[in-house]
């Protein structure tokens, strides 16, 4: 009996000590230095403006203090975090490789080795039975770097040269390198401050690439000749309009090098024969306000996907020597209920990607007799897309398919015989059976009567009794549609009784172009109220309750959950805001910050009072007040190039100052990474494990 009493006492003391530790750890308090910000006769006081100094020792000290606080108050979840990390990584096949694709006589693929954080890029000449040629082993290249990212692999026409970009800071500023694949030598040609992408002319020695300005806007195209000093490279295009960015690519037919310029709502292209790298680029069709189009070369003509007099886009064509829009002829007409998203060109077939009622359909059109059909898929909610179709003279269409319960699956589809060949389904290690899970699509109703799609997945047998924890994910900006794809990491949620829900709110493009336009500029608040309506609907339908529902979003999705936290804090148990854009007005008034000027068409230009006033009415940072907020986990990266670290840093400081509750508020700053998080294949799951542990802790899930 005494022994039992002693054990109970030890347990109680342990629990008491844990609670005391959690309660006595004090959150960092940021100093206040009032800064007056005045526009349109309105003055805002920003007490934390001083945090906008990445090299300031006090700023770094404060961020480190926030990290220390997070580590301390979440210390009791360390074992759970390690378990979650091991769980998620354990489902991933480590020695894996992608399905090879054929291009210009070679089969290219990417593979991973056991324990490797980074990919190995390789190819085989002529046949998959031939010896492997390793082009880049990024594991070796990344040694000694906290962050290492390779992008933009680009092979010359003669297959002998590889251009690629490297970022070691996570600032999305890539240095271009060139490797001679015949000798294995990295050439001396080294070009800094690029987007990482490049294009070879057909002479196999001239390289076109894009550089960035001080705001990280891609604004110039240069031409480099191998063996020459990059400082002498010739500028071939300068995008002077700071609301536009530029890029360069090559047509699938290899005939043209194409410079593109784009803003949120307008595009323009320039053409150069790839056999004549010293020639002059010619405008395809001059830019016009609110005219977006993309082009694809085929034989002696171009196909054009355009929204010219077509909100949901239509397909047109024109002769390659008569490219102005008054020469264009319609191929596929505009439809109110179908968004024409993209096309893939083959010698004998045209593949059209169309979105209807939120789902992508693949339409196959015979280039010769114009007969056509749609591919068929079984599930009610899925994602399908054409990919890796670099060969022009083939009847095979490579596509990938996935759903909330189906892992990514790669097929080759014979467009002539309609036969489908399964090439690979991503393997999920462990005890995974897709039949153990249920997905569905339901619809919430917004205050204005609009039906908002919600995609759900949960473990079969779940009771809709209002007691289930639920993660509601949203984005709702830039016309970016949230797709219903599989993620093996989510099994760690579903197997613990969570419902995973995606709110397809306005501001995306799931239901067509008007869906996007109804969630931007002076209609932006529809995005936030749609999300709230989805949460309320899920509670009313007894999937969850307000003590067990979490709002999750990143970047512009962080803006979403930040706005929702101000508008309906009582609706959520917790909020996870990843790299959140929350200081909308101050950022959009500062044209030295990346992405500001190019996004006036998305959010509005606050130098105009009507946009200033509207932004101010929903900006998460500006609308923090003295009231109760849900528990919150906020994350950022010190080197974030998209949303500067100081936005969430200021937001957290203001929340700490004003909120009237005792709910947990923690801030995790990745001091080595940027907007996309860690660069390694598995390292990112440590960040996800923290997010899951935060939510589990709030609803009492201990293991």
**CATH number of 672's domain:** 3.40.50.1820
Of the residues 143, 168, 191, which one is the last residue of a structural domain? Answer: 143
Which two structure tokens, joined as six digits, stand for 396? Answer: 């095979």
The string of pLDDT tens digits covering residues 169-196 is 877 889 999 999 999 999 999 999 999 9
Q: Give the separation between CA 326 and CA 266, rounded to whole angstroms.
A: 18
**Residue 14 banded pLDDT, cuts 50, 70, 90:** very low
Range from 17-31, 157-171, 344-358, 538-552 carrying the lowest mean pLDDT: 17-31
8 Å CB contact between 403 and 485 = yes
CATH code for position 225: 2.130.10.120
Per-residue confidence (pLDDT) for residue 10, from 0 to 100: 35
In which band, very low, low, confident or very high, does the pLDDT at 22 lie, cut at 50, 70 and 90? very low
Which domain covers residue 692, as residue numbers? 440-699
Look at residue 605 in the predicted model and tell me its pLDDT.
93
Question: Would residue 549 count as lying in a domain?
Answer: yes
At what angle are helices 609-618 and 525-540 packed, to 10 degrees? 30
How many other CB atoms are there within 10 angstroms of residue 445's CB atom?
Answer: 13
- Please return the burial class of 279, using the count of CB atoms within 10 Å of its CB with bins 0-12, 13-18 and 19+: middle
Tell me, yes or no, if 9 is annotated catalytic: no
What are the phi and psi torsion angles at 516 (to 5°)? -70, -50
Q: Is the pLDDT of residue 251 over 90?
A: yes
172: left (phi over 0), alpha (psi -120 to 50) or beta: left
DSSP H or E stretch at residue 414: strand 409-414
Q: At residue 406, does pLDDT exceed 60?
A: yes
Q: What angle do CA 44, 29, 57 make, to 5 degrees?
A: 90
- CB contact at 8 A, 637 and 301: no
Residues 350, 610: Cα–Cα separation, whole Å: 45
Angle between helices 556-567 and 525-540 (to 10 degrees): 70
Domain count, the chain: 3
Q: What is the phi/psi pair of residue 538, to 5°?
A: -65, -35
- Annotation says 640 is catalytic: yes
Query: Given the structure tokens 């009032």, which residue do they identify?
Result: 34
Percentage of residues in the chain with pLDDT exceeding 70?
95
In sequence order, which residues have a C-beta less than 8 Å from that of residue 389 and are 6 or more positions away?
101, 344, 346, 351, 397, 398
The pLDDT value given to residue 684 = 85
Q: Are 147 and 678 in contact (CB under 8 A)?
A: yes
Give the residues across from 60 on adjacent strands: none
Structural domain contains residue 246: yes
Contact 635, 67 (CB under 8 A): no
**Cα dihedral 73→78→81→86 (10° resolution):** 170
Model pLDDT, residue 214:
81
Helix, strand or coil for residue 699? helix
Of the residues 264, 285, 306, the one at which a domain ends: 285
Tell me how far apart the alpha carbons of residues 411 and 486 are, in angstroms, rounded to a whole number. Answer: 16
Whether the per-residue pLDDT at 16 is higher than 50: the answer is no
Does residue 153 share a domain with residue 135?
no
The mean pLDDT of 572-595, rounded to a whole number, is 90
Whether 572 contacts 550, CB under 8 Å: yes
**How far from each other are the two terminal CA atoms of the chain, in whole angstroms?**
30
Q: How much of the chain, in percent, has pLDDT values that exceed 90?
A: 85
Check pLDDT > 60 for residue 23.
no
Sheet holding 185-200, edge to edge: 149-155, 161-167, 174-180, 185-200, 206-212, 218-225, 234-238
531 and 478 inside one domain? yes
Q: Can you give the pLDDT at residue 642?
A: 63
Q: Each residue of 455-486: pLDDT tens digit?
A: 999 999 999 999 999 999 999 999 999 999 99
Catalytic residue of the set 170, 353, 555, 598: 555
| pLDDT over 90 (residue 9) | no
Say yes or no: 217 and 135 in one domain: no
* Residue 243 pLDDT greater than 90, yes or no: no
Q: What is the mean pLDDT of residues 7-24?
A: 42
Query: 4 pLDDT exceeds 80?
Result: no
In this prediction, residue 599 carries a pLDDT of 84
Query: pLDDT band for position 595 (50/70/90)?
Result: low
Nearby residues of 540 by Cβ (< 8 Å), 6 or more positions away: none
Active site residue 334: no
Whether residue 654 sits in one domain with residue 595: yes
Q: Which of 115, 143, 171 is the last residue of a domain?
A: 143
| Residue among 266, 675, 679, 697 flagged as catalytic | 675
> How many helices and strands (H and E) does the chain possess?
13, 37
Residue with tokens 């026409």: 157
Task: Give the per-residue pLDDT at 183.
Answer: 96
Same domain, 161 and 132: no
Asked if residue 583 and residue 453 are part of one domain, the reply reads yes
621 with 588: CB under 8 angstroms? no
Is residue 432 assigned to a domain? no
Pair (164, 109) in one structural domain: no
Both tokens assigned to 647: 């936005």
Count of residues in the chain: 703
User: pLDDT category, 1, cuts 50, 70, 90?
Assistant: very low
Asked if 502 and 484 touch (Cβ cutoff 8 Å), the reply is yes
Residues 496 and 477 in one domain: yes
Residue 639 has pLDDT above 80, yes or no: no
Q: Does residue 161 share a domain with residue 137?
A: no
> What are the Cα distances from residue 234, in Å, to 193, 221, 231, 278, 341?
15, 9, 9, 10, 35
Q: What is residue 287's three-state secondary structure?
A: coil
Residue 13 has pLDDT above 70, yes or no: no
Residues 248-271 have a mean pLDDT of 95
Same-domain pairing of 125 and 159: no
Residue of 299, 300, 264, 306 whose CA lies nearest to 285: 306
Q: Evaluate whether residue 493 is within a structural domain.
A: yes
The stretch 263-291 carries a mean pLDDT of: 95
Give the per-residue pLDDT at 7: 37
**Which of 233, 344, 622, 640 is an active site residue?**
640
Q: What is the pLDDT of residue 570?
A: 97
The alpha-helical segments, DSSP class H, found in 74-154 are 78-90, 138-141
Does residue 434 lie in a domain region? no
Backbone dihedral region of 151: left (phi > 0), alpha (psi from -120 to 50 degrees) or beta? beta
Provide the token pair at 193.
Answer: 């401050």
Domain co-membership, 222 together with 123: no
Give the pLDDT band (50/70/90) at residue 594: low
What's the mean per-residue pLDDT of the chain? Answer: 92
Residue 678, pLDDT score: 54
* pLDDT at position 382 over 60: yes
Alpha helices (runs of H) in 25-141, residue ranges in sequence order: 57-73, 78-90, 138-141
Pseudo-torsion of CA 174, 586, 592, 506, nearest 10°?
Answer: 50
Same domain, 664 and 550: yes
Within a domain: residue 330? no
Q: What angle, 0 to 180 degrees and rounded to 10, lies between the N-to-C axes of helices 57-73 and 646-658?
A: 60
172 found inside a domain:
yes
Residue 43 belongs to a domain: no
Name which of 234, 239, 238, 214 is nearest 222 in CA terms.
Answer: 234
Between the alpha carbon of residue 427 and those of residues 379, 408, 459, 518, 683, the distances in Å are 20, 9, 19, 39, 20
Question: Which of 479, 478, 474 has the alpha carbon at shortest distance from 502?
Answer: 474
Position 18 pLDDT exceeds 50: no
């Amino acid at each position: 009996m005494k022994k039992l009493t002693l054990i109970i006492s030890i347990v109680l003391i342990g629990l008491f000590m844990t609670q005391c530790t959690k309660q006595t750890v004090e959150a960092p308090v940021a100093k206040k230095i009032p800064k007056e910000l005045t526009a349109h006769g309105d003055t805002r006081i920003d007490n934390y403006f001083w945090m906008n100094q990445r090299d300031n020792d006090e700023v770094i000290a404060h961020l480190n203090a926030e990290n220390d606080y997070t580590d301390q108050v979440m210390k009791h979840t360390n074992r759970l975090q390690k378990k979650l990390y091991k769980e998620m990584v354990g489902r991933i096949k480590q020695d894996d490789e992608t399905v090879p694709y054929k291009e210009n006589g070679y089969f290219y693929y990417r593979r991973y080795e056991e324990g490797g954080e980074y990919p190995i890029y390789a190819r085989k000449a002529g046949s998959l039975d031939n010896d492997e040629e390793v082009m880049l082993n990024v594991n070796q290249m990344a040694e000694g770097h906290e962050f290492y990212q390779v992008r933009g692999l680009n092979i010359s026409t003669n297959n002998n040269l590889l251009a690629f970009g490297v970022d070691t800071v996570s600032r999305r500023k890539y240095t271009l390198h060139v490797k001679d694949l015949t000798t294995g030598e990295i050439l001396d040609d080294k070009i800094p401050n690029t987007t990482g992408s490049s294009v070879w002319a057909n002479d196999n020695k001239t390289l076109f690439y894009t550089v960035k300005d001080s705001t990280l806007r891609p604004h110039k195209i240069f031409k480099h000749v191998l063996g020459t000093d990059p400082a002498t490279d010739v500028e071939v295009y300068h995008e002077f309009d700071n609301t536009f960015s530029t890029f360069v690519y090559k047509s699938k037919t290899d005939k043209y090098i194409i410079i593109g310029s784009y803003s949120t709502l307008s595009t323009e292209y320039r053409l150069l024969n790839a056999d004549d790298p010293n020639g002059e680029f010619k405008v395809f069709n001059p830019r016009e306000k609110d005219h977006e189009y993309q082009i694809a070369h085929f034989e002696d003509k171009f196909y054009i996907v355009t929204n010219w007099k077509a909100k949901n886009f239509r397909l047109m064509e024109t002769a390659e020597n008569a490219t102005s829009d008054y020469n264009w002829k319609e191929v596929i007409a505009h439809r109110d209920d179908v968004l024409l998203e993209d096309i893939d060109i083959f010698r004998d077939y045209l593949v059209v990607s169309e979105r209807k009622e939120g789902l992508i359909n693949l339409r196959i059109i015979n280039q010769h007799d114009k007969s056509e059909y749609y591919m068929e898929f079984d599930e009610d909610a899925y994602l399908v897309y054409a990919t890796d179709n670099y060969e022009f003279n083939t009847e095979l269409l490579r596509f990938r398919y996935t759903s909330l319960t189906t892992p990514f699956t790669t097929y080759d589809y014979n467009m002539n015989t309609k036969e489908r060949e399964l090439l690979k389904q991503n393997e999920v290690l462990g005890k995974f059976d897709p039949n153990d899970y249920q997905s569905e699509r339901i619809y919430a109703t917004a205050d204005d009567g609009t039906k908002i799609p919600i995609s759900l997945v949960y473990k079969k047998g779940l009771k809709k009794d209002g007691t289930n924890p639920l993660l509601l994910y949203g984005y709702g900006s830039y016309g970016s549609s949230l797709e219903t794809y599989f993620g093996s990491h989510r099994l760690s949620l579903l197997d613990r009784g969570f419902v995973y829900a995606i709110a397809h709110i306005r501001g995306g493009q799931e239901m067509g172009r008007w869906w996007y336009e109804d969630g931007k500029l002076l209609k932006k608040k529809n995005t936030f109220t749609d999300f709230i309506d989805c949460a309320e609907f899920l509670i009313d339908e007894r999937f969850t309750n307000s003590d067990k529902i979490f709002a999750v979003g990143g970047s512009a999705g962080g803006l979403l959950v930040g706005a929702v936290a101000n508008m309906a804090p009582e609706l959520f148990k917790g909020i996870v805001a990843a790299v959140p854009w929350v200081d909308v007005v101050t950022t959009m008034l500062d044209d030295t910050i990346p992405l500001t000027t190019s996004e006036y068409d998305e959010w509005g230009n606050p130098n105009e009072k009507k946009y200033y006033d509207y932004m101010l009415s929903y900006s998460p940072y500006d609308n923090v007040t003295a009231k109760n907020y849900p528990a919150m986990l906020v994350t950022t990266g010190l080197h974030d190039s998209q949303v500067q670290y100081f936005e969430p840093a200021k937001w957290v400081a203001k929340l700490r100052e004003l909120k009237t509750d005792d709910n947990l508020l923690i801030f995790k700053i990745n001091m080595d990474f940027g907007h996309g998080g860690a660069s390694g294949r598995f390292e990112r799951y440590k960040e996800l494990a923290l997010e899951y542990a935060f939510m589990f802790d709030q609803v009492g899930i201990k293991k």
